[in-house]
């Protein structure tokens, strides 16, 4: 690694830490995951609450939108392996993200984010043109074709199907490379839109995938638009705030596969 690259990484890490300090001053955080036997923290009238988990990409989608729109909210992280009963009362499926305010409860990241974009419309993340809005929705609704491979590729190493999985991965990633080439700097053109935030969490986790399959890296000669997009996304304050280092993601994925997910990794 060159001295210039090392300097770049140190500067990026410093900017991320500075951004995290800034956001911690303007929003309430309850970081440690609450599980069975815990009490639900008291709700405050008029205060939006997000039930989340620090390493969940779906919850990160909603965290990104909340932060990008500068919406005031508080976070309660949930132990998804040993969920408290009061959490099931809010989402019978037992998944995050969940939004709650003044007796209103919503879950599923796409539902939560559409709600936020309508109730807090500035900056607008979904097009007002209905056809274009549907075009955008198709991009994130079909992103499961990519995200499922994050679990299939590790398994494919053992059963000898890695080359096949990687071909599927490249084919699906290419769809987004082509689409981005038509749109500009972001999927929203000159500024980010809902698509950018709905798919970003998995791009943040690609370094975990490349440990098993180096071919999964988004290289500039192969995916020039996505490679550039990843760099500009990393400059967004909301992305910096929710960002976890690759080592943290690797640790969490390892603990998850071992059956003992370390939800509080890195917290004092």
Higher pLDDT pick, 149 / 5: 149
Model pLDDT for residues 160-214, shown as the tens digit of each residue? 999 999 999 999 999 999 999 999 999 999 999 999 999 999 999 999 999 999 9
Is there a catalytic annotation at residue 165? no
- At residue 268, the pLDDT reads 80
What domains sit in the chain, N to C, each tagged with a CATH number? Answer: 18-119 (3.40.30.10), 130-235 (1.20.1050.10)
Model pLDDT for residues 66-100, shown as the tens digit of each residue? 999 999 999 999 999 999 999 999 999 999 999 99
Hey, which residues does 78 pair with through a beta bridge? Answer: 34
Strands (E), the chain: 28-34, 48-52, 73-78, 98-101, 104-107
Among residues 24, 28, 22, the alpha carbon closest in space to that of 46 is found at 28
Model pLDDT for residues 100-136, shown as the tens digit of each residue? 999 999 999 999 999 999 999 999 999 999 999 999 9
Which pTM does this prediction carry?
0.90
Choice among 6, 56, 112, 165 that is catalytic: 56
Band of the pLDDT at 31, cuts 50, 70, 90?
A: confident
Percentages of the chain per state (helix, strand, coil), in multiples of 5: 55, 10, 35
Local structure of residue 213 (DSSP, 8 states): -
Q: What percent of the chain has pLDDT over 90?
A: 87
């Amino acid at each position: 690694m060159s001295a210039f690259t090392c300097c770049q990484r140190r500067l990026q890490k410093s900017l991320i830490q500075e951004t995290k300090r800034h956001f911690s001053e303007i929003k309430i955080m309850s970081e440690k995951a609450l599980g069975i036997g815990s009490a639900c923290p008291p709700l405050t009238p008029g205060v939006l609450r997000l039930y989340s988990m620090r390493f969940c990409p779906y919850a990160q989608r909603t965290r990104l939108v909340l932060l990008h729109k500068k919406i005031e909210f508080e976070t309660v992280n949930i132990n998804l392996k040993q969920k408290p009963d009061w959490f099931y009362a809010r989402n019978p499926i037992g998944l995050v993200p969940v939004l709650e305010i003044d007796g209103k409860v919503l879950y599923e990241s796409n539902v939560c984010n559409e709600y936020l974009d309508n109730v807090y419309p500035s900056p607008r993340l979904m097009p007002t043109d209905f056809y274009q809005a549907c075009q955008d929705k198709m991009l994130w609704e079909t992103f499961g074709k990519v995200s499922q491979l994050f679990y299939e590729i590790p398994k494919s190493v053992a059963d000898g199907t890695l080359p096949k999985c990687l071909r599927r991965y490249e084919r699906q990633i290419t769809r987004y490379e082509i689409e981005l080439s038509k749109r500009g700097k972001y999927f929203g053109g000159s500024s980010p839109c809902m698509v950018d935030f709905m798919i970003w969490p998995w791009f943040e986790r690609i370094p975990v995938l490349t440990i098993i399959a180096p071919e999964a890296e988004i290289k500039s000669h192969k995916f020039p638009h996505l490679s550039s997009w990843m760099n500009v996304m990393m400059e967004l304050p909301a992305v910096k705030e929710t960002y976890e280092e690759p080592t943290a993601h690797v640790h969490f994925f390892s603990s998850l596969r071992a059956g003992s997910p370390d939800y509080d990794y890195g917290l004092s």
